[in-house]
Structure 1
Amino acid sequence: MYVSVQSCQNVGLFHLLILNFGLGKYMNVLKKVIRNIIIGHDQFISSTTEYRNAMLRGLIALIGLIIGVLYIFVDASNDVHSGYPVYALLAVLSLLTLWLNRIRKYMMASALLVLVSNGVLFVFASSEGPAMGVFFFFITTGLATLVLFGYSHRNLGILLVLASYAIAMAAYFARPQILPMVEVTDEYTRIGFVTNFTTAYFVAALVLYFSIQLHHDTETDLRTSEQSLRLTSQELKRSRERFRMAVEGTRAGLYEWNRLSGTLYLGNYFKMVLGYEEGDLSDLTFEEFKAMIHPEDLPRFEASLQRHLESKQPYQTELRLRTKGGSYKWVADSGIARLDENGEMISLVGSIIDIEERKMAEQQIRLQNDLLAKANDELDRFVYSASHDLRAPLSSLLGLISIAEKTDSRDEIMLCLEMMKKRVVTMEGFIKEITDYSRNSRLRVERQPVQVRNLVQEVVESLKYTRGAERIRIDLDMDPDLTFVTDPGRLKVILNNLIANAIKYHDLTKEDPYIHLKAFANGKSNEISVTDNGQGIPREHMSHIFDMFYRASENSEGSGLGLYIVKETLAKLSGTIHVESEYQKGSVFRVELPT
């Protein structure tokens, strides 16, 4: 940018004054003044993101306005006049940007600010070259562009950043001499470079600061929302009583049944709740009204009405009414009958209130309570079984260590070490199963294309050193190009457990021990089957094999977690598993996954 030595020094002094004001006791007054200039005295922006971006946009425009006006006076004091038109244009367009920002034409203001910045930078960068450091401002402009246009207009922001880069390259290589050539000293060049670099640096820091502040505000809002959600559960417990009191006092959604004439009047709000227009349901009878009640709720409605006639107290019930679209909606129904002198009902007046959201919330709470009860039950069983399964090999290790310490026989020591190794392998497998269970519970499902045959081969390869695996024939029956769209990590856990069980519980005394792995897609679902001619599962254990820590016998080598993990993992993938088994003949596990 074309400036004199004196202008560089004055600009540096200006920035020091701003910093002094920012760090001094007038900080709040200055911030209020700047906000009123940028946003307006009585203006309020509800969105934190819009407010931060508006302030950033306005501050950059203010800086452009101040620099434009300041450089005119500074160059005039140094008898340099060639940059006047550019400075004046910068000041005027910065002022226009401020005005657009105040009237909330944010896209126009951002676009104008970016165009003005790139235009002014092109003029000075092409005239002065890289020696004065003007090119640093292109980086600042790019950062400001991305922040101002945000994620919602990211494509336009990226396009403008690329355009800014192209302008910088054009200024560097083409070097059109727009401003007159002026001879400057080395001292002038150094001071200009430092001033331009410092200005660009701190403006970039300002942009990043606003971006960080915006992220901080968003995080704070999320934490506030989380606290609010925690209070919602407590509020729902009190909402039932509040709704009861509100229904007794309201006349919204009125209906009136005249028993003598047989006519039924429905208020406009009543119709609106059920999705009807004002002119609908004009000739409805009471029997037709009862036909709108959900069949499961009709006995409760009639019983409530009968109790009301006997007790002479207002009735209240909750039921589902059929909407115009054919679905059912929960409403709170309350009313009272008008009786003649003989106690016979003349008419019935009632009202309804839409409680669909409340019912859905209660249903969600019941579901969460069921899930919590299940989780607590699983946790109790997990703690008990896990402590037992970890303690057993540890106790065995301590015993083997004690034996090894008391013997001098190398053979006995080696035997103890081999047995220790087996216990460690057992513990390692158990810890891996715990890790798989934990990851399945915590991590969200990441669906992506998976080449099934490659994944199956990877699992089989990882299990080939399992005891007895070398004596089992493993066949793969699937297309090499077969692809499932699912979570590869979870599918691998499922396959690893099923194939490992098929190897572990095989019958090696048979003539041709085998495991047959098949996968295919039938258009409606993706299927994988694991078939073996191993030990099979006794009928009395079939209904429990997917329970946590269930073992068919005390001699079982597994932890009892494997098939439970398979079932829970499939639940995450919205899949199912079916098993067919005959004791001492073999088993077939069929997995179905959604397409």
Structure 2
Amino acid sequence: MESAENITLYIQDQMYEFFEKNQLPIFLFHTISKKVVAYNSAFLQKTAHYKHLVSIWTANYSSENTPSTFVEHSKNKFQLLSSNLGEDLLLIQIIELTQSPAGGGKLTSKQDVLNQKKNSSKAFDFFKEKVETAFLKVFEIAPLGFVFTDADFKVLWSNEKSHQLLGRSSLSQSSFVDAILVDNIDEFWCRVKENKKASTPVSSSFSIKNIKSGTDLFIKCTALANPVGDEGAEGFIFLLEDETEKTNFSQEIKTKSLELNQINHELDKFLYSVSHNIRGPIASLEGLLKVIEISDLNAVNQLKHHLRLNLRLLNSFVHDISNVATNIHTHVKYKEINLYDMVDELLLFMNNIYELNAVKKINVPYDYTLISDPDRLAIVLKGILKNSYQYRDIGKNNLIIEVNVSKNEDFHLIEIVDNGIGIKDEVKPRIFDMFYRGTELSTGNGMGLHNTREILKKIGGTMNIESRDRLWTKAKMYLPVDPN
């Protein structure tokens, strides 16, 4: 097996085997001359029985004939199935749907048989020449890559699809092992060689690099033993199937499934935490009301603080839930915002809520503006400032809050720095988790930083937190200069 000629000879032999040894009567018809050019052995055994039938079919043939035709002859019905072999050549199979009369259709003499076989042999040379072109055409237009190799994997012939998959203009005479550029599949080649005398296909799937485009493709490669050429010669047919799209789709489904599982997990956790966070303050309020009913006026006055605190917690939680819903369902509305005015107003609001006069350092120009959603940005800044007030260090004389802003061509950087209790290193990785409380001093519901980051994402921003335990915390928020 030294060239691609062995392959075409092999194809011819297989077609001859199919044609000559088929038990159905078959003839070959040339559409231009409208003549029968060959009969197989099954046809020649009952030539007289089929000859008139063929003449009826030939007389009525046109290029618009369907692949299946029914013909009645001598009270018998036949179905003629035609297959286009290309190059104006049809292969016609005759299926007898009713039995012929007993003894009918026998040849009148042995000489007739010999003459028919002689004529058929000459015509079949014409047929074999046409078949070679027709079958190679099928391999060329197939959606699979076909590569024929010898026993040492030297490429003898390959179709255009295999060249496209591998990114090569030709594979002729090259080593197929080297051509696919894949490491760690030695086991595949060993299995192929072990099965070289068996008809069992050997398959493997792997990723290859297309050397022309540089893209990665996921290929299913199937090897079949392919005896070609002289007796004893061996080789292989390799089928290459591009499964990249199917693999990517499968991976996308897997990814979406994992995301859905995560969402369901978060939803379960969310619902549990919502009920827990609402139940706690309500239970406390009910308990306080029962105590009030049996207490004197002085005791009631002392309980006012606890009532106010629980109502504030409940209101805060409802407010946070409302923010989640608003962020999900409300469209972003971009407007021009004066950042100084927004920060100053929020700090004044926080001082009133917490009844605390923090030291404010607003390093923001009075006329500094940016384009964003004012409602969402206010929620983000309020969430950060709320943490600064809530986790202030009572051992320090004053709560100091510093707000800075800077800008480059891509984003605004807003920094809020406080001198509070800071964040311990071991809890920093989880501070953005929903319902996570990072300190025993927390009286909130664990949704603050999670909500703040999610709302910031909605307006195209990101954030990170830097902190030193017991010293300071710095929240850095990045907002796009051009959010559209």
Query: Normalization by structure 2: what TM-score?
Result: 0.60
Partners of 1:255 and 1:265 within 8 A in 2: yes
Matching of residue 393 in structure 1 with residue 281 in structure 2? yes
| Alignment partners' CA distance in 2, 1:451 and 1:304 | 67
1:58 equivalent in structure 2: none
Matching of residue 306 in structure 1 with residue 194 in structure 2? no
Partners of 2:203 and 2:220 within 8 A in 1: no
Code of the residue aligned with 1:421 in structure 2: it is R
* Secondary structure, counterpart of 2:347 in structure 1: helix
* Secondary structure, counterpart of 2:382 in structure 1: helix
Larger strand percent: 2
2:148 equivalent in structure 1: 256
Code of the residue aligned with 1:367 in structure 2: it is T
Partners of 1:315 and 1:336 within 8 A in 2: no
Partners of 1:305 and 1:315 within 8 A in 2: no
Matching of residue 493 in structure 1 with residue 379 in structure 2? yes
1:286 equivalent in structure 2: 176
2:29 equivalent in structure 1: none
2:323 equivalent in structure 1: 436
Matching of residue 453 in structure 1 with residue 345 in structure 2? no
Partners of 1:482 and 1:520 within 8 A in 2: no
Code of the residue aligned with 1:475 in structure 2: it is K
| Structure 1 residues 449 and 560: alpha-carbon distance in aligned structure 2, compared to 1, 3 A threshold | same
Correspondence 1:144-163 to 2 at 5 A: none
Partners of 1:321 and 1:329 within 8 A in 2: yes
Tell which structure's C-alpha radius of gyration is larger: 2
1:350 equivalent in structure 2: 238
Partners of 2:221 and 2:241 within 8 A in 1: yes
The offset of 1:534, in angstroms, is: 1.0
Matching of residue 365 in structure 1 with residue 257 in structure 2? no
1:268 equivalent in structure 2: 160
2:390 equivalent in structure 1: 504
| Alignment partners' CA distance in 2, 1:484 and 1:285 | 63
| Alignment partners' CA distance in 1, 2:287 and 2:270 | 26
1:538 is aligned, of 399, 410, 424, to 424
Partners of 2:165 and 2:210 within 8 A in 1: no
Partners of 1:251 and 1:351 within 8 A in 2: no
Instruction: Give the total of aligned pairs.
Output: 333
Partners of 1:314 and 1:334 within 8 A in 2: yes
Partners of 1:534 and 1:587 within 8 A in 2: yes
The offset of 1:520, in angstroms, is: 1.8
| Alignment partners' CA distance in 2, 1:323 and 1:568 | 42
| Alignment partners' CA distance in 2, 1:345 and 1:507 | 88
Code of the residue aligned with 1:579 in structure 2: it is I
C-alpha distance after superposition, 1:400-456 (max 9, x if no partner)? 11122223x334334444432321111110111122233334556556655443443
The offset of 1:254, in angstroms, is: 2.0
Q: Indicate the RMSD between aligned Cα atoms, in angstroms.
A: 3.4
Larger helix percent: 1
The offset of 1:268, in angstroms, is: 2.0
The offset of 1:510, in angstroms, is: 2.0
| Structure 1 residues 260 and 379: alpha-carbon distance in aligned structure 2, compared to 1, 3 A threshold | closer
* Secondary structure, counterpart of 2:180 in structure 1: helix
* Secondary structure, counterpart of 2:354 in structure 1: coil
| Structure 2 residue runs without a partner (length 5+) | 1-141
| Alignment partners' CA distance in 2, 1:254 and 1:403 | 87
Partners of 2:205 and 2:218 within 8 A in 1: no
| Alignment partners' CA distance in 1, 2:233 and 2:461 | 56
Partners of 2:351 and 2:357 within 8 A in 1: no
Code of the residue aligned with 1:289 in structure 2: it is A
| Alignment partners' CA distance in 1, 2:293 and 2:439 | 34
2:313 is aligned, of 423, 426, 450, to 426
The offset of 1:368, in angstroms, is: 1.6
1:548 equivalent in structure 2: 434
Partners of 2:228 and 2:235 within 8 A in 1: no
C-alpha distance after superposition, 1:357-377 (max 9, x if no partner)? 323322322222222222222
1:564 equivalent in structure 2: 450
| Structure 1 residue runs without a partner (length 5+) | 1-249
Moved more, 425-434 or 320-329: 320-329
| Structure 1 residues 475 and 347: alpha-carbon distance in aligned structure 2, compared to 1, 3 A threshold | farther
Identity of aligned residues (%): 23
Partners of 1:304 and 1:317 within 8 A in 2: no
| Alignment partners' CA distance in 1, 2:249 and 2:366 | 47
| Alignment partners' CA distance in 2, 1:552 and 1:345 | 75
Code of the residue aligned with 1:385 in structure 2: it is S
* Secondary structure, counterpart of 1:466 in structure 2: helix
| Alignment partners' CA distance in 2, 1:416 and 1:358 | 66
| Structure 1 residues 287 and 331: alpha-carbon distance in aligned structure 2, compared to 1, 3 A threshold | closer
Code of the residue aligned with 2:418 in structure 1: it is D
Comparing both chains, which one has the higher relative contact order based on Cα–Cα distances under 8 Å and sequence gaps of 6 or more?
Answer: 2
Code of the residue aligned with 1:530 in structure 2: it is I
Partners of 1:264 and 1:285 within 8 A in 2: no
